[in-house]
Amino acid sequence: MKILVTGAGGFIGGELSRRLNELGHQVVTFQRGHYPQLEGDGIATIRGDLADLEAVRLAVTGCQVVFHVAALASVWGPARNFEDCNVKGTKNVIDACQHHQVPRLIFTSSPSVVFCGDHQEGIDEQVPYPDKYLAHYPRTKAIAEKSVLGANDENLSTLALRPHLVWGPGDRHLIPRILERARKGRLRLIDAPGTLIDATYIDNVIDAHIAALSALKAGSPCCGRCYFIANGEPIELHLLIAGILEAAQLEVVKPDVSPRMAWWLATLLEWLHRIPGVTGEPALTRFTAQQLSTSHWFDLSAARNDLGWEPKISTEEGLQRLARSLRPTAELTR
């Protein structure tokens, strides 16, 4: 079938596009940048902006399924940028699906849409959206998720997936940032004993999207619902980061920053970056400080029951795969 993937220039979108292509689907991608590697894999690419309704409608033409993966995923930046991409862009995708009578829309969301600043231990999808957010990203993603789920009807079946802290070979953001700071001696970790997070290996995320494609049909239990996606292996964050550093043959960094110190440092850095003329992103924000100081792990029963999905790649196996992918780079940077 013909499937559109938005945001294929990103980690999840790119891997999803390649998997769908391998499964024999006719894949079309929509993103702002030019990514020759997608075309090299035989995937059709369209360049455009999600805020441009006509461009989105054109990209959706003839598709039977849309995976809306694209988002502005950052903890810092002007509110308007997040509104245009995450809110307006998502509404344009919904409009285009309705306009072309596309029967299925699968949205890649985030657990941060329900993060209220407290520990989230074993929570399920009944947890409500918070009243306030510390960053524009989770706020606008929550608006987008509500829009997608609210669009579910007899003509358009929708669902949202909430993968948490996605990592693995091919990541161009999270892992490279960790490794760069470690090599420069600037990697600091928050010391919050007993705090557990459940990150998600990339293949498990893609498996969840493929499972959603099979399960999402008019009248199925997953219609209009959201699902947490993770590895099902809560672990202390510093241990996961230690595994990533070891995969790159770098020295392990021990946590030494208290949550309280991280909060006040983030507050100061945010204030400094609001001074006219100061550019770039703060090294730490209050939202990130809260995320790194609290537990995040989930009840995955709904995804297992409704989608028939199960995380297949363990954290241990994922780290072994990461080590193999980083080995040439590690040798060159030693």
Q: By three-state DSSP, how is residue 140 classified? A: helix
Q: By three-state DSSP, how is residue 106 classified? A: strand
Mean pLDDT check: name the lowest of 55-59, 245-249, 328-332: 328-332
pLDDT band (50, 70, 90) for residue 33 = confident
Residues for the chain: how many in total? 334
Give pLDDT, residue 280.
Answer: 86
330 has pLDDT over 60? no
Q: Tell me, letter by letter, the H, E, C secondary structure of 75-99.
A: CCCCHHHHHHHHHHHHHHHHHHHHH
Please give the average per-residue pLDDT across 101-112, as a whole number: 98
Alpha helices in the chain (DSSP H): 11-22, 36-40, 53-60, 79-82, 89-99, 136-150, 174-183, 202-215, 237-247, 259-272, 286-293, 301-307, 315-333
Measured between alpha carbons, how far is 128 from 113 in angstroms, rounded to an integer?
A: 9
Identified catalytic residue from 133, 137, 201, 227: 137
Please give the average per-residue pLDDT across 81-103, as a whole number: 97
290 has pLDDT over 60? yes
| Dihedral (CA of 307, 89, 115, 295) sign | positive
pLDDT band (50, 70, 90) for residue 288 = very high
- Percent above pLDDT 90 for the chain: 86
Residue 21, phi then psi, degrees to nearest 5: -65, -40
Please give the average per-residue pLDDT across 213-223, as a whole number: 96
Measured between alpha carbons, how far is 56 from 89 in angstroms, rounded to an integer?
A: 9
328 has pLDDT over 70? no
Average pLDDT, the chain: 94
Q: By three-state DSSP, how is residue 69 classified? A: coil
Structure tokens at 260: 């309280």
Measured between alpha carbons, how far is 77 from 180 in angstroms, rounded to an integer?
A: 22
Give the contacts of 272 (CB within 8 A, at least 6 positions apart). Answer: 278, 282
Rounded to 10°, the helix 174-183/237-247 angle is: 80
Give the contacts of 102 (CB within 8 A, at least 6 positions apart). Answer: 60, 63, 64, 65, 66, 96, 156
pLDDT band (50, 70, 90) for residue 39 = confident
Please give the average per-residue pLDDT across 46-69, as a whole number: 96
Q: How far is CA 4 from CA 234, 325, 328, in A?
A: 33, 29, 34
Which of 195, 231, 194, 226 has the alpha carbon at shortest distance from 212? 226
Predicted confidence (pLDDT) per residue in 258-280, tens digit:
999 999 999 999 999 989 888 88
Please give the average per-residue pLDDT across 170-182, as a whole number: 92
Mean pLDDT check: name the lowest of 38-42, 178-182, 298-302: 38-42
Which of 4, 325, 334, 329 has the alpha carbon at shortest distance from 167? 325
Determine contact, residues 258/195, Cβ cutoff 8 Å: no
Give pLDDT, residue 278.
Answer: 84
* Structural domains for the chain: 2-166+200-232+297-312 (3.40.50.720)
Please give the average per-residue pLDDT across 2-21, as a whole number: 95
Give pLDDT, residue 131.
Answer: 94
Annotated active-site residue 227? The verdict is no
First to last CA, the chain: 47
Give pLDDT, residue 267.
Answer: 94
70 has pLDDT over 50? yes
Residue 298 identity (one-letter amino acid) = F
Give pLDDT, residue 34.
Answer: 81
pLDDT band (50, 70, 90) for residue 329 = low
Which of 136, 25, 21, 8 has the alpha carbon at shortest distance from 69? 8
119 has pLDDT over 90? yes
Give the contacts of 68 (CB within 8 A, at least 6 positions apart). Answer: 6, 7, 90, 93, 105, 106, 107, 108, 148
Which of 57, 30, 55, 59 has the alpha carbon at shortest distance from 45? 30
